[in-house]
Structures are given as C-alpha cells and as structure tokens.
Amino acid sequence: MKHFIYLHWQSAVQALLKLLRQPVSGLLTLLMLSLALTLPLSLYLAIDSLQAWVGRLSATPQITLFMELSAEKPDLAAVRSTLSHHPKIKSYYFVNKTDALAEMEKRNQLSGLGDGLESNPLPDAFVVTPKTLEPGELEILQKELSGLPMVELAQFDAHWAKRLHALLGIADKLIWFLAGALGLGLVLVTNNTIRMQILARQDEIEVSKLIGASDSFIRRPFLYHAMWQGVLAALIAWGLTYWLVYAANPAISEFAMLYGEQLSLRYLSPLELAVTIGLAIALTVLGARLATNHHLRAIEPR
C-alpha cells in the first residue's frame, strides 16, 4: 500500500515539475482552460447576485386594491381582515384617501387643490405585496382580490412580473448551456494537449510496453498532468472572476444608487471555489483519460 501511494505521489510531483518547466506552452493552455471556466462563473455570480437583489426589491409586483368611493369603515375592516389572513399575501398597507390627496398635492406642487373640490375624488386603497413572483399565481390572486366587497379595481403590473420571471428563467438556462458547452471545451482542450504529449513520447511508451509496463502505469503521469492543469486553471479562473467582480462593483453600485437601491456582485464562496476545482479536475482528467485510452490501444511496440 505504501509503495502504491509513493508511486502516485511521485507521478503527481513529476507531472507538476514538468508543467512548471514548460511555462510558455503550459501557460497558454492554462489560459484557455481558465477562460472556459471564467465565463460561466462570472455569469453565475451575476445572475445569483441579481436574484438576491430582486428578493430585496421594494418594487416587487404589488397589487393595488382601489375601493369604491362609497366604501365605509366596515367595508374597509372586512377587506383588512381578509388580507391579514390570506396565505398568499406577504404584507399590505392601507392608503387613506385623505393622505393620498395630500401626497398628490405635495408631489405636484398643487397646494390647496383639495380646497377647490367639493369632495375627495380619490378612493381609499390597499397596497398588497404577494409572496410569489410567478405570473400565473399573481393573476389568480388579482382576480380573487378584485371580488372582495366594495373593491372597485384590483390592479398590478403583470407585464413587469412576466418579463422579470422570463428573464431570470432564460438566464438560468443560459448558465447551464454555457457551463455545458465550455465544460466540453475543457475536455477537448485537455484531450488534444495530452494527445500531443503522447505522440511526442511515442518511442518511450513503446519501450515501456516492451519491458512489461502496464497501461495504468503509462497512463498515470498524463492523468496527473491533466489534474494539475485543472487545479491551476480553476485557481486562475477564480482570480479572473475576483478581478472582474472587483472592477465591476463600483460602477454597478453607483448605477443602483441612482434608483435608491444597493446592488453589488458577490464573490465566490470557499465551497463554490472547492466545487469549481473539483469539476475542473474531473473534466480535465476525463479528457486525458479519453486521449490515453485511445492512443495506448493504437501504440504497439515494434
């Protein structure tokens, strides 16, 4: 067992030293691999940060219930009771028609507008925040609330909710598509790199086979070479992603402040970095194994 571990340790160290002795060609390959990892990682962080921000938005689709002008206190109390116990409603608040008129006068600089009117033309209203962003459920809730006693109109921006829901859904699918496509790219780049190394060492492999070396013994250094490529590419991708987030955050924060919001992209967590390294190793080793299996079957000692 100790001998087995020693052989693997020796192969891993030799593969790393060989990779470091070829800085130019090795760096170019690492840059290709790291860019293939950086693109989906950056998109993942952007979409994840956006989803977290959307969850905090005060502009979550809200349903506004406009009461009839003849609605009285018992009618308001009945609606308030229904909203308080509704399982699909996160929160609500009441807008008194007197306060609404005063706010309109203040916003439009129309002081004394109410003095020239015989009665307040604005209705009382309830502003309801649903628990869901799913457009279908919002429409059902809107229809349900519009049937409450003395509710004249239940209104919400359905198109805004549908657009937001659709955009986040498309972004999620785009992440998986991009990750899959670039993951395949990692396998192909590693496969080609290892194939070139095998062809360059073809005579050495033939001699090893003549003296009885097994395929697993011959394959081992190539697999460890691919493993180190995966580790280093993932670390470079982490560095590039960190730099992109660091560079983009000031502009994003400044833009969000124009709308009274706080938004910034987050960095990769330690767990996410570990998963990235693990996936990079798995993909590069897969590419190396496919290359070695194919060429070892083709190379026979003369």
In the chain, where does the domain assigned CATH 3.30.70.3040 lie? 63-156
CB 59 within 8 A of CB 92: no
H or E stretch at 103: helix 97-107
CB 61 within 8 A of CB 133: yes
**Residue 207 pLDDT exceeds 60:** yes
Cα gap 227→8, rounded to integer Å: 12
List Cβ neighbours of 120 (8 Å cut-off, separation of 6 or more).
97, 98, 101, 114
CB 291 within 8 A of CB 198: yes
For the stretch 15-68, pLDDT in tens is 666 766 766 666 777 888 888 888 888 888 888 887 777 655 545 678 888 888
For the stretch 137-158, pLDDT in tens is 888 888 888 888 888 888 876 5
CATH dotted code for 63-156: 3.30.70.3040
pTM score above 0.75: no
Cα gap 290→294, rounded to integer Å: 6
Q: Regarding predicted confidence, which is higher, 147 or 213?
A: 147
